[in-house]
Amino acid sequence: MWQHWVLATAVVPLGIVGGVIALSIRGMPLAGAAAAAFCVVCGLALVQAWIVTSGIVRAARMFSNVRTACLQGAQTKFKPVFLLGFCVLVGSMPMAFLGSSSGAQAQFATVTIGGVLFSTVGALIAIPVLIAWITG
């Protein structure tokens, strides 16, 4: 079962890609604040992936079919993962779009928003699919 926890780290590159895409869409350079935001995105991506993975591991104890366990585990952990991502997005929106006094704040928030969007989707879709594919 330790493989599932290692597999959860597959979401981290998705968060990084999301942050890079968000920076490029807004035409912002990669500066110090943006680099610090990538550390935040990596942590949030891991937390989301571990939440989904824990649901799948718990469901695997109840169901013998791996696909059923992955679906059930992802469904039970959808709300906590979605709300975690939603709260981070809503909290970052004012910094990113309301013209804060510092460009560094906008860069930090932009990376956070893009990274959390990609990592939330990745945690809810990629983790169950990868676990079903690897163990199934």
pLDDT reported for residue 135: 83
pLDDT reported for residue 100: 62
pLDDT reported for residue 15: 92
Over residues 57-77, the mean pLDDT reads 91
> For 93-134, how does the pLDDT look when each residue is reduced to its tens digit (9 = 90+)?
988 888 665 788 889 999 999 999 999 999 999 999 988 898
> For 20-53, how does the pLDDT look when each residue is reduced to its tens digit (9 = 90+)?
999 999 988 888 888 999 999 999 999 999 999 9
pLDDT reported for residue 36: 93
Domain parsing of the chain, residue ranges: 32-135
What long-range pairs does 3-8 form, CB within 8 A, spacing at least 24?
A: 3/134, 3/135, 4/53, 4/56, 4/57, 4/131, 4/135, 5/50, 5/53, 7/53, 7/127, 7/130, 7/131, 7/134, 8/46, 8/49, 8/50, 8/52, 8/53, 8/127
pLDDT reported for residue 53: 92
- For the entire predicted model, the pTM comes to 0.87
Topology at the third CATH level for domain 32-135? Multidrug efflux transporter AcrB transmembrane fold (1.20.1640)
pLDDT reported for residue 101: 58
Over residues 84-100, the mean pLDDT reads 87
pLDDT reported for residue 103: 80
